[in-house]
């Protein structure tokens, strides 16, 4: 059964900062497939429109972080495969975590049963900066 789910980026306090709708052909997917689908969609959308800022899960190479998203130093297409690799690596290194129906995903291989009412939140962790 095919379905569309909304993925939200949220802060640790629950404030939603970004949303993206994703279409899945199957309701049983892995966390890895979820992350890959999300990153590929946001890179595809950016490459087609070429807006000033990229509001994706991970920062592209040669981009600076701003309040409005990631700003590329030069307007060019982003490599989706590279972004997927960075996103999967960041998940494994606890750079962000994924909540699916209020349960934290543990591994990339974990299977998830999606429904039309599933809630998916990506929560980015802010690294502490010390002196």
pLDDT number for residue 42: 94
pLDDT number for residue 126: 64
CATH code assigned to 3-124: 3.10.20
**pLDDT above 50: residue 129:** no
* Domain residue ranges in the chain: 3-124
pLDDT number for residue 87: 94
Q: Distance (Å, rounded) from C-alpha 71 to C-alpha 63?
A: 5
**pLDDT above 80: residue 130:** no
pLDDT number for residue 13: 80
Convert the pLDDT of each residue in 54-98 to its tens digit: 888 888 887 888 777 788 878 789 999 999 999 999 999 999 999
pLDDT number for residue 127: 55
């Amino acid at each position: 059964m095919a379905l569309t789910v909304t993925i939200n980026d949220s802060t640790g306090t629950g404030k939603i900062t970004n949303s993206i709708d994703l279409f899945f052909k199957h309701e049983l997917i892995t966390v890895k497939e979820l992350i890959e689908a999300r990153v590929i969609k946001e890179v595809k959308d950016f490459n087609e429109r070429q807006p000033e800022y990229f509001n994706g899960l991970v920062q592209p190479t040669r981009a600076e972080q701003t309040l409005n998203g990631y700003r590329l130093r030069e307007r060019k297409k982003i490599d989706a495969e590279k972004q997927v690799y960075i996103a999967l690596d960041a998940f494994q290194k606890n750079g962000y975590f994924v909540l699916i129906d209020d349960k934290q995903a543990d591994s990339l291989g974990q299977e998830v049963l999606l429904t039309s009412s599933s809630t998916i939140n990506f929560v980015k962790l802010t690294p502490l900066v010390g002196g």
